[in-house]
Amino acid sequence: MSESTEKSLVLVKPDGYRRGLSGEVLRRIEAKGYVPVALAVVTPTHEQLAEHYAEHEGKPFYEPLIEFMSSGPVTAIVIQGERCIEGFRALAGATDPTAALPGTIRGDLGRDWGLKVQQNIVHGSDSPESAAREIGIWFPNL
């Protein structure tokens, strides 16, 4: 792996999974040139989500986020590629689906749920450190 080759965690959130968008997200990841190296469909536990979102504990959106993320299955994917953390976040688009640009996952596939911005199809790691921590939570044997 070169210095710019990274791994990142991508989650197709429960709203995306329910709408059958896991395959479309994976298609866009592969079309961008990133390689999926691990994939699982899981219903996350409260403990798993508490560890994943620990940095947000105590914030007003924390409990609704945990409740939403535990509401059904998610597709967890580890991707690998040159600058894939930054690249996937650009591919995902702005957190708010209404503000996300056309051509991005959230811009093309996201719905406006008002204040429920966490229902935005996907999650992507935001740094190499976060990616390593998150991959360890979702794929402990990787």
CATH of domain 7-138: 3.30.70.141
Q: Any binding-site annotation on 120?
A: yes
Q: Any binding-site annotation on 133?
A: no
For 63, residues 6+ apart whose C-beta sits below 8 A from its C-beta are none
84-109 mean pLDDT: 95
**Among 46, 52, 56, 123, the one annotated catalytic:** 123
Q: Where are the domains of the chain?
A: 7-138
Q: Active-site residue 123, yes or no? A: yes
Q: Angle at the Cα of 126 (from 15 to 120), degrees rounded to 5?
A: 20
pLDDT bracket for residue 119 (50, 70, 90): confident
Q: Any binding-site annotation on 88?
A: no
Mean pLDDT taken over the chain: 93
Tell me, what's the pLDDT at 104?
A: 97
pLDDT tens-digit readout, 28-84 = 999 999 999 999 999 999 999 999 999 999 999 899 999 999 999 999 999 999 999
Q: Phi/psi at 128 (nearest 5 deg)?
A: -60, -35
